[in-house]
Structure 1
Amino acid sequence: MRKILIPTVILLILIAIIILRPKERVVEYVPIKFVEARIVDQGLVQDRVELLGTVVGEKQVTITPDVIGRVVKKLKPEGSYLKRNEPILIIQNDLVGFEYKKSYVRSPIAGRLAKIFVDVGQRVSPQVPVAMVIDSRDLKIELGIPERFASRLKKGMEAEVLAGTDSRKVRARIYEIGPYVDPQTGTVLSRLRFLRRPEGVLPGMVARVRLIFDERDVVIRIPKESMVEGNVFVIRGGRIHRVIPEVGLSGSDYLEVKSGLRTGDTLVIFGQEFLEDGDSVKVEVES
């Protein structure tokens, strides 16, 4: 009897230990996602396109001679200022059967002799350009604008321009819009005038033109890439909150926010594609 009792007691003690032993706590693993964020601020939102144009003179003419012959003398060096009708070259008519006489190539406008295309002794004809004269007192920009923007062009529309040695952007305004789309380039030729002539700008220079269709300044704005299917994600207390903001102007880089966000909010700008409400995140804030 005693032999049976001892194992039974031991078994009961083991069962009691198992039952009364504290249960292990089950810790739920919550993954932390890494994102990049920035602080929502106020600033400029622009709907724009950036293009390259060419600076040209208000008047710019390529001159051809009236006769066939040879260039016998250059009367003016390149860079000279010319009065209207002032001679540039002398051409000797040397066609057999015609009277050999000198003919003058004259400038049809007042301006600067930009280029002489021929040398003394060279044979020329009315089909051969011999010189270019530019009136550079007033400069303009010729700009080919892609046809997808053609319907949005308006006379008086302003642009920001960087040209010449002036590192500051200056404003220009469209004063002429071409009547058709060039089938070879797919662009509409437009012309702009400087509102203030930049320093060191010369005809023939490349102008970097930022054509502004619409803009809002000192508004709450967010980067376009921060929005995913109409949603943005802000971080509060280390957790994600999904927000559907009311958007105003859609610019080239930024969106205007009318409501739903405020300055100082921490906005996710990278890694938001896989976020859900309530996610824990470790954030790197863009400076």
Structure 2
Amino acid sequence: MKKTVIWIIVAAFILLIGYRVVQRIAQRRASGLIEEKRSVPVRVMEVTRASIREILSFTGDIKGKEQVNVYSEVPGRIRSYAVREGQWVKKDGLLATVDRGITGLEFEPAKIRSPIGGIVGRVFLDIGDAVAPQVPVALVVRMNKVEVAINVVERDIPKVKTGLQASIKVDAYPDMSFEGKVTMMSPVVDPISRTSRAEITVDNRKGFLKPGMFARVDLVVREEKNTVVVPADAVLGRIERYVFVVEQGKAVRKPVSLGIRENNRVQVIEGLDASDTLVVVGQRVVDDGEEVTIVVE
């Protein structure tokens, strides 16, 4: 009987100690003294090499490569037109005649001729309207090539050079892209706008592009090939840029130096190697050295 009582007391004592230990651990966890390990789910990609381009975007107006306003050499009134808008006129072809009639005098009608071959883009006066040497009668445009004029801000002037490839888009043909080249870069800067004027020549033998159209222009000013390129969202930090990679099941923070950015991709000049396992989802919630679980889609 005594032995039974002793065993009961010992068992109760052990249970009491166990309860106290469990209670102490729970209290320490609650107070943050014991941190439970966690594994953060992330998605990753293997870093690879690719090509990336630096693109500058501009807007501008399309005009004919050659276009001239045609004037009458004498005053008078428009007597007749030999062409209509949209018609082709050859060089020195007749555009219009001018009645030079002065009271008491008679003159042969004066002839207005086109100095270039091209399309009659505009006729500015109606028959019977007064005309003078300073008043344009018609606009003639040579449209097999067109130009887009753009204004380049000071910081980008060193990047824009003649010969650069350009991609042009217009609202009339949203699914089409027209290729051109920078053919002129002004050597001066406008003191008011602080921009320099550049011209892009575009082949227009099919006639899709019309003078006066609004154009959006992308210039490829630099291209890097076989370089480390990653999603821009994978890069964190505003001043000191860094990424997370996975090594031996843990997130490792790596500082990086960046280069060209193209849309949602960015070039990494230093800090990453091809074949590194880059965190692309979950990088904002992991800490350096924290265990991670790679989630496969």
Q: TM-score, normalised by structure 1?
A: 0.76
Match of 1:216 among 220, 224, 228: 224
* Structure 1 segments unaligned to the other structure (5+ residues): 1-8
Superposition deviation, residue 39 in structure 1: 5.1
The correspondence of residues 14-163 of structure 1 with structure 2, limited to 5 A, is: 15=13, 17-19=15-17, 23-24=21-22, 26=26, 28-30=35-37, 40-94=47-101, 102-162=109-169
Contact kept? 1:166, 1:200, Cα under 8 Å: no
Match of 1:176 among 179, 184, 192: 184
Superposition deviation, residue 258 in structure 1: 4.7
The correspondence of residues 248-287 of structure 1 with structure 2, limited to 5 A, is: 249-253=259-263, 254-258=265-269, 260-263=271-274, 265-269=276-280, 272=283, 275-280=286-291
2: CA distance between counterparts of 1:211 and 1:219?
A: 21
Structure 1 284/70 Cα, relative in aligned 2: closer, same or farther at 3 Å? farther
Task: Report the equivalent of 1:4.
Answer: none
2: CA distance between counterparts of 1:272 and 1:98?
A: 90
Tell me the secondary structure at the aligned position of residue 136 of structure 2.
coil
* Structure 2 segments unaligned to the other structure (5+ residues): 1-6, 30-34
Q: Percent of counterpart pairs with the same letter?
A: 26
Task: Provide the alpha-carbon RMSD of the alignment.
Answer: 3.8
Task: Report the equivalent of 1:240.
Answer: 251
Superposition deviation, residue 53 in structure 1: 3.0
Superposition deviation, residue 177 in structure 1: 1.0
Contact kept? 1:70, 1:92, Cα under 8 Å: yes
Report the more deviating stretch, 12-21 or 208-217.
12-21
Q: How many equivalent residue pairs?
A: 278
- Report the AA paired with residue 278 of structure 1: G
Task: Report the equivalent of 2:200.
Answer: 192
Structure 1 131/32 Cα, relative in aligned 2: closer, same or farther at 3 Å? farther
Contact kept? 1:166, 1:199, Cα under 8 Å: no
Structure 1 13/80 Cα, relative in aligned 2: closer, same or farther at 3 Å? closer
Superposition deviation, residue 203 in structure 1: 3.1
Contact kept? 1:165, 1:199, Cα under 8 Å: no
Report the more deviating stretch, 62-71 or 23-32.
23-32
2: CA distance between counterparts of 1:69 and 1:53?
A: 37
Q: TM-score, normalised by structure 2?
A: 0.74
Contact kept? 1:52, 1:207, Cα under 8 Å: yes
